[in-house]
Amino acid sequence: SCAPSPRTEIFSGKAVTHEDIKYEQACVLYNLGALHSMLGAMDKRVSEECAAGAFTYLRDHFPHSYSVDMSHQILSLNINLMLGQAQECLLEKSMLDNRKSFLVARISAQVVDYYKEACRALENSETASLLGKIQKDWKKLVQMKIYYFAAVAHLHMGKQAEEQQKFGERVIYFQSALDKLNEAIKLAKGQPETVQEALRFTMDVIGGKYNSAKKDNDFIYHEAVPALDTLQSVKGAPLVKALPVNPTDPAVTGPDIFAKLVPMAAHEASSLYSEEKAKLLRDVMAKIEAKNEVLDQFMDSMQLDPETVDNLDMYNHIPPVLMEKCAALSVRPDTVRNLVHSMQVLSGVFTDVEASLKEIRDLLEEDEAQEKKLQELLGRVPPTPGSPPGLAEVSKECSKYLELHEKASFTNTELHRAMNLHLGNLRLLGGPLEQVRAALPSPTLSEDDKQVLQNLKRILAKVQEMRDQRMSLEQQLREMIQKDDITTSLVTTDRSEMKKLFEEQLKKYDQLKVYLEQNLAAQENVLKALTDANVKYAAVRKALAEVEHKWNTTVQTLVASYEAYEDLMKKSQEGKDFYTDLEGKAAKLLERARAACQASEAHRQQLLERWALRPPP
């Protein structure tokens, strides 16, 4: 005999050895699945077959305790990742082939379903501990794909609404696609440039579609925009299949080299018993999957996350983005004073310019009035040589400066308004943190409201407990089936007694089946209780959502005030430079106006004297 060769685990790097031939078979199957996935990655993206077959067979027919790589959750993760990527290929092909929008939406929705299953496997506490640090990165990437392909699905649902001339539906689907894409972009930080480029391109497409649809509906169609949850959800269309793997097929494995060690009849009986076990597992899994589907759809429709169902802890802290602004202002204590001083200087120069221009205008109006009086006294006097020419030029320049001043005055007013808008917020951010926290809205819940929340959390915990128990029982059943080897009994049992032996041996699963049936039967009552609790929670949820909206708006307003500071200082300085220059020009023009008006007055006096010396008729 020879010692078994050690195998290296992918995630831990540990060498694993088992004195069990089935472990060797499992390792071969695992490597076959890995090879299929590599070949799939190199192949053209047009086939519906994927590398999930080997992993599926491994999950359903071998123990999961051999190594981390072969745990039920890790294999389920691999299977759904492979199926999701294969469905992606068909989605890409369907878009290139210009298939109908509704079909493309359903194909994309199925991609989302596969990745949601992968995400559930990743979120499992057992998986997290097995994968270690990479679990968070994988989960973030899978969640990014979920949001991205959900956006693609709703983009094509919007296109279908457009084809059906349902313009209100078109707006909400494109809006939803835009929201989901924004979530994908948030999760895509740190991803390669090719991913960022794809997201930017998709944003251009969806953003353009949404803006066009909203504008058309606002100005042309005026259709009511329904709430997204009132529309029928997009049901996925699974078009991919796992590449079938059957390690017992002689066409694959060749002749059985150990066939002579056990009688052929015992082999045949063992295969029949394996089929009975597989049938039992299929029946149980069909019930579990049906209940799981109902549960998943129900929880998706509720949109209740146990961890964020109340979000109350959020209001106990100043958010990091705001703390960052407070810290920045704490090392720049003169921020508000500098802004106020800058605006005061600007106001002073503005006032000086306005006074100079007013005086020029008054001088010109007074000169015009005196000229009118002279003409009324003497009759229309033609210009005589020596009359002052400067007033017309002064008047022309004054009009030009007044026009500049009027335009700048509007900008100046807007600048002051913006300053007054942000000044209070800047003072708040530069003050004590207690005042900042007090300025942020927070919910006020009655004792009844708190009781409603506690009850909802308790039932959500029951839902999770039911899920965990179901998964545990399923795992126990699979492991029990994997370890159930009655070959020794089959060798010594007569063929006529085989059926009776099978019935006796299968009774060992009855207790587990009872527990599973009880778990599945409890789901209806749990969901009914959750429905009742959610109805009572509706008013609290609305109140919390409103407070959260106000809280987010307040935070955004305070951050905007901080970010507006530099812009206000820059525009204030530009205003000062503009008015300082205009002040110099206005001062010079005032001197010219005074001189021209004096010359004009002297000219009028000369005309009066000549008129007085004229001989009577």
Taking only the tens place, the pLDDT of each residue in 410-420 is 766 677 776 77
Best CA proximity match to 142, nearest among 201, 191, 93 = 191
Residue 49 main-chain phi, psi, to 5 deg: -85, 145
Q: What is the mean pLDDT of residues 198-205?
A: 94
Tell how far CA 188 is from the center of its chain.
Answer: 10
H helical segments located in 244-388: 250-253, 264-302, 320-330, 335-378
Q: How confident is the model at residue 331 (pLDDT cuts 50, 70, 90)?
A: confident
Q: What is the mean pLDDT of residues 266-270?
A: 74
Is 115's pLDDT higher than 90?
yes
Taking only the tens place, the pLDDT of each residue in 181-195 is 999 999 999 899 999
Report the pLDDT value the prediction gives residue 107, as an integer from 0 to 100. 95
Report the pLDDT value the prediction gives residue 584, as an integer from 0 to 100. 84
Report the pLDDT value the prediction gives residue 8, as an integer from 0 to 100. 63
Taking only the tens place, the pLDDT of each residue in 390-430 is 777 878 888 887 777 777 767 666 777 767 777 777 778 78
Task: Please give the domain boundaries of the chain with CATH numbers for all domains.
Answer: 10-238 (1.25.40.280), 267-381+423-590 (no CATH)
Taking only the tens place, the pLDDT of each residue in 506-549 is 899 999 999 999 999 999 999 999 999 888 888 888 888 888 88
Q: What is the mean pLDDT of residues 122-141?
A: 83
Report the pLDDT value the prediction gives residue 100, as an integer from 0 to 100. 95
Check if the beta carbon of residue 296 is closer than 8 Å to that of residue 235.
no
Report the pLDDT value the prediction gives residue 1, as an integer from 0 to 100. 39
Q: What is the mean pLDDT of residues 16-27?
A: 66
Q: Is the pTM of this model over 0.85?
A: no
Report the pLDDT value the prediction gives residue 250, as an integer from 0 to 100. 66
The percent of residues above 90 in pLDDT, for the chain, comes to: 30
Report the pLDDT value the prediction gives residue 14, as an integer from 0 to 100. 64
Q: What is the mean pLDDT of residues 596-613?
A: 78
Q: What is the mean pLDDT of residues 304-316?
A: 73
The percent of residues above 70 in pLDDT, for the chain, comes to: 81
Q: What is the mean pLDDT of residues 450-458?
A: 88
Report the pLDDT value the prediction gives residue 15, as an integer from 0 to 100. 66
Is 385's pLDDT higher than 80?
no
Q: How many residues does the chain have?
A: 617
Report the pLDDT value the prediction gives residue 2, as an integer from 0 to 100. 46
- Residue given tokens 């003497």 in the structure block: 378
Check if the beta carbon of residue 48 is closer than 8 Å to that of residue 87.
no
Is 83's pLDDT higher than 80?
yes
Is 240's pLDDT higher than 60?
yes
Q: What is the mean pLDDT of residues 118-122?
A: 89
Which residues contact residue 124 at a Cβ distance below 8 angstroms, ignoring those fewer than 6 apart?
Answer: 73, 471
Report the pLDDT value the prediction gives residue 292, as an integer from 0 to 100. 93
Check if the beta carbon of residue 154 is closer than 8 Å to that of residue 160.
no
Is 254's pLDDT higher than 80?
no
Check if the beta carbon of residue 73 is closer than 8 Å to that of residue 126.
yes
Is 105's pLDDT higher than 50?
yes
Report the pLDDT value the prediction gives residue 205, as an integer from 0 to 100. 95
Is 387's pLDDT higher than 50?
no
C-alpha distance from residue 374 to each of 380, 599, 607 (Å): 9, 15, 9
* Average pLDDT over the chain, rounded to an integer: 81
